[in-house]
């Protein structure tokens, strides 16, 4: 299994990873390391892919898989009862060592957010609907600290060259933040090319988060590395994961 290790100045106790599509056992069209149980893939294949993920990352626990709905709900994972039904949320936060947070993506933007001192970490699923509705604002609020005490990592997502949207999407962002118009470019079809990553950065900076990291990688363009719902329709999902360890030993 191949994973990306986010490059950001996270505290020594924090760990994070982003999975690629290779290294699993799923058959086409989910080839190969699909981690989502809701997309039509064989359940046994998903279970094996998740087992390999735990082994590859030496996870201290099964990731907390969310029932994502493109909304703004932020789960306090420290109050979640292990074994309960998958919580309906698009972000989660923890202050407890050993709790593994995760979101599944296949074009939407995964965002990791952490306190600089390593005492709390969160993950958010930022598709355009959730981003426009305020999923990042809700996630930042859950930390209950100033934005300059936080840092963020933006993972792979569909790039502006391939993310065409209608005028209603542009209007939803510009109504809340006038400068959002800079993240949209008109195309020859009378629609707009949308820079999801730029929009997320604008939202984070408006919240006081200036430490934003991660290099742009397009899930649509890099078919060998990433799943893309917009490119393929029926496809798998990658995972962005983060957790706190008991001590600061080792690397992250």
pLDDT digits (tens, 9 = 90+) for 83-118: 778 899 999 999 999 999 999 999 999 999 999 999
Relative to beta strand 101-105, strand 91-94 is unpaired
Q: Which two tokens stand for residue 19?
A: 């999975």
Cα 140 from Cα 204, distance rounded (Å) = 9
Residue 51 pLDDT exceeds 60: yes
Given this model, what pLDDT does residue 84 score?
76
What number is the average pLDDT over the span 151-176? 98
User: What's the pLDDT score for residue 194?
Assistant: 98
Are 109 and 132 in contact by the 8 Å Cβ rule? The answer is no
Asked whether residue 211 carries a pLDDT value surpassing 70, the answer given is: yes
The pLDDT score that the predictor gives to residue 137 is 98
Alpha helix (H) ranges present in 17-121?
Answer: 43-57
Average pLDDT over every residue of 60-84: 93
pLDDT value for 12: 96
Domains in the chain: ranges and CATH: 10-241 (3.60.140.10)
Which pLDDT tens digit goes with each residue over 232-247? 999 999 999 999 998 7
Q: Which residues contact 118 (CB under 8 A, 6 or more apart)?
A: 10, 11, 12, 13, 14, 244
pTM for the structure as a whole: 0.95
Q: What is the mean pLDDT of residues 63-79?
A: 97
Task: Spell 67-105 as b/e; 16+ CB within 10 A means b.
Answer: ebebbbbbbebeebeeeeeebebbbbbbeeeebbbbbbb
pLDDT at 163: 98
């Amino acid at each position: 299994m191949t994973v990306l290790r986010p490059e950001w100045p996270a505290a020594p106790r924090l760990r994070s990873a982003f999975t690629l599509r290779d290294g699993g056992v799923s058959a086409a069209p989910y080839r190969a390391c699909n981690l989502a149980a809701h997309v039509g893939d064989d359940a046994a294949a998903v279970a094996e892919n998740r087992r390999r993920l735990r082994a590859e990352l030496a996870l201290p626990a099964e990731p907390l898989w969310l029932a994502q709905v493109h909304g703004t709900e932020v789960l306090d994972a420290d109050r979640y009862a292990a074994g309960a039904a998958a919580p309906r949320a698009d972000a989660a936060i923890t202050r407890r060592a050993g709790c593994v947070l995760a979101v599944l993506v296949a074009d939407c933007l995964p965002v990791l957010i952490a306190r600089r001192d390593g005492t709390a970490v969160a993950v958010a699923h930022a598709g355009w609907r959730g981003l426009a509705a305020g999923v990042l604002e809700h996630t930042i609020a859950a930390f209950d600290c100033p934005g300059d005490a936080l840092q963020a990592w933006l993972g792979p997502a569909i790039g502006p060259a391939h993310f065409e949207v209608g005028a209603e999407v542009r209007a939803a962002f510009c109504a809340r933040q006038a400068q959002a118009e800079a993240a949209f470019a008109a195309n020859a079809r009378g629609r707009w090319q949308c820079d999801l990553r730029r929009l997320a950065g604008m939202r984070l900076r408006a919240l006081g988060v200036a430490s934003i990291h991660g290099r742009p990688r397009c899930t649509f363009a890099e078919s060998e590395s990433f799943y893309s719902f917009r490119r393929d329709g029926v496809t798998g999902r990658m995972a962005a994961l983060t957790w706190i360890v008991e001590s600061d030993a080792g690397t992250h």
